[in-house]
Amino acid sequence: MNERAALSLVGGLVSAAGDDAAVVDGTVFTIDMLHDDTDFPAGTTRYTAGWRSVGASLSDVAAMGGDATAAVGVYGAPDFDADALTAFVTGALDVCEDVGAEYVGGDLDGHDEFTVATAAIGRAEDPVCRGGASAGEKLVVTGTLGRTAAAMALFEHGDTELANELFRFRPRVAAGRALAGHATAMMDSSDGLARSLHQLSEASDCGFAVDADSVPVAADLSDLVDDPLDAAVTYGEDFELVATVPEGAVDAVRAATDVPVSVVGDVTESGVTLDGEALPDRGWTH
Amino acid sequence: MNERAALSLVGGLVSAAGDDAAVVDGTVFTIDMLHDDTDFPAGTTRYTAGWRSVGASLSDVAAMGGDATAAVGVYGAPDFDADALTAFVTGALDVCEDVGAEYVGGDLDGHDEFTVATAAIGRAEDPVCRGGASAGEKLVVTGTLGRTAAAMALFEHGDTELANELFRFRPRVAAGRALAGHATAMMDSSDGLARSLHQLSEASDCGFAVDADSVPVAADLSDLVDDPLDAAVTYGEDFELVATVPEGAVDAVRAATDVPVSVVGDVTESGVTLDGEALPDRGWTH
């Protein structure tokens, strides 16, 4: 079966599953695995791998409106080169510092394919799930979309320095905290905006009408791909937050965070559309 | 560099590293990665893999004297077979239930080699670290040693049913709680008793004198390997607790848990010996 069917199967077995992270007694808790084959194109530095892997888990905490407190990681590699390992751990430490969390170690594993597992915890007394959106609310997105699509093109072209820089996204923990008091539903955009909206639509039993001109397309993307808007909407792995908020709360959210918050459309009764056309459920499959 | 040198390098970069699990504001937090090549011999069922992987992280919480509250896991496999995935998740749920914790989900990952990452959290207001042992105290071990050595022999002989049963160890969370009020140093025996003692010796700046007759060798082991005592002491991956306690506290520990607690020797000033002979630092390398 495909990954989505498998996730649905797990959801039937594990009552707490189905959001970006689980919440246990006010503690947000999440785990991720990234590896060479699907997540680290040739040219990805170990520093970037450490930053991005740990960042993915911190982003899950952010997506619940949680305040990230700590992260751990497993570095699985065919050999333990001192420089590579130091770079990885430094990236992990730095991304944690960027969001006010603490990187507290983990483990090593001899592994044929470079494989990283990361977990993060945080506090969230009032976590934001995926199921609370209602028609009439506004759909908002943090930052810009398409950074990872741009990075992948740059890795292919051999411009690895800028590609690595784009890969080191800043987890939206502070923006998630700003949204937490207002958002009715939230998740991160790791599967792409289109797929995220289909997931929110299913969880909240609502629809979305996205206005193409409002989508914050990453500046780096326009020279790199034929259809920047399509890449921004469907490529995924940008780890921005996608949330729904009452219209009256948009200004308060913006006032509470330095990260740009774009209103990209409306919550509707049903269907997911982009400028009135159906937006299919396609995007990143891990 | 080898794994131990690499762990030492990480310890120099990450101040919280060096114990079985990190402790952040009273929350114990740990992560592990297991995979086909080194952890799941042919014949290991997916149910056992789920139980054992999650159990490894719960054991880390136990080794800090923590009360395990929740675990998450990533199931990384070349394909997502419904029966295999269901068995894995059921194993994960069951091992959590066995220790009073909750399995709260995780993620899936398409991965050439079957690879599992697990993380667990727990509460520990007074965590037990590795560095507090003093000469004159007693060395204790929970349960029996050599179950995994026996299981590996049984997997080789094709007796996979018993092998799987032995592989599904019960994480010593309750015993760890019983020890927590008394133990001066503690860790789990995943690297084997010999290697564990060398690690405790280094962390606590002490020695150990082990009495061979007192080592609780697993009953299943005697017919399966040439030297049961050696296998029990060095093979590792048994996930029992190895702890030091003041002599006067041994009875209280025993009264507080149903798990057998064996006194296997004494904490000394220096050196690690078995019946007076040097016990070398060898054991499981992950």
**Fold type of domain B3-123:** 60s Ribosomal Protein L30; Chain: A; (3.30.1330)
pLDDT value, residue B286:
46
**For residue A109, which residues of chain B lie inside 8 Å, CB to CB?**
33, 35, 286
Q: What is the pLDDT of residues A163-207, one digit of tens each?
A: 999 999 999 999 999 999 999 999 999 999 999 999 999 999 999
Is position B205 annotated in a ligand binding site?
A: no
User: Domain-by-domain residue ranges, chain A?
Assistant: 3-123, 138-278
**Per-residue pLDDT reduced to its tens digit, B133-192:** 999 999 999 999 999 999 999 999 999 999 999 999 999 999 999 999 999 999 999 999
Does residue B106 or residue A255 have the better pLDDT?
Answer: A255
Cα gap A226→B75, rounded to integer Å: 36
The label of the residue with tokens 């094709």 reads B158
Calpha distance A59→A53 (Å, rounded)? 10
Measured at the alpha carbon of residue B216, what is the angle toward residues B282 and B99, in degrees to the nearest 5?
95
Strand segments (E) across chain A = 22-24, 27-35, 67-77, 102-110, 115-123, 138-142, 185-188, 207-210, 241-245, 261-268, 272-274, 277-278
Say what percent of chain B tops pLDDT 90. 91
CATH class of the structural domain A138-278: alpha beta
Residue A286 pLDDT: 46
Cite the DSSP H helix spans in B65-192.
82-98, 147-157, 160-167, 173-180
- A81 is known to lie in a ligand binding site: no
Give A-chain residues touching B90 at CB under 8 angstroms. Answer: 13
> Given A31, A103, A108, which is nearest B73 (Cβ)?
A31
Instruction: Find out whether A106 is annotated in a ligand binding site.
Output: yes
Contact A31 B107 (CB under 8 A): yes
**How many CB atoms are located within 10 Å of the residue B219 CB?**
12
A27-35 sheet: strands from edge to edge = A22-24, A27-35, A115-123, A67-77, A102-110
- B16 and A85 in contact by Cβ < 8 A? no
Cβ proximity of A86 and B133 under 8 Å: no
Contact at CB, B31 and A82, closer than 8 angstroms: no
Closest CA to B18 of B96, B126, B130, B127: B130
| Topology match between the domains B3-123 and B138-278 | no
Q: Tens of pLDDT along B65-100?
A: 999 999 999 999 999 999 999 999 999 999 999 999
Token pair recorded at residue B266? 């004494």
**What tens digit of pLDDT does each residue of A209-260 get?**
999 999 999 998 988 999 999 999 999 999 999 999 999 999 999 999 999 9
How far apart are alpha carbons B107 and A11 in whole angstroms?
11
- Write the ipTM: 0.95
Q: Do B85 and A25 touch (CB under 8 A)?
A: no
Q: Tell me which chain B residues have a C-beta less than 8 angstroms from the C-beta of A190.
A: none
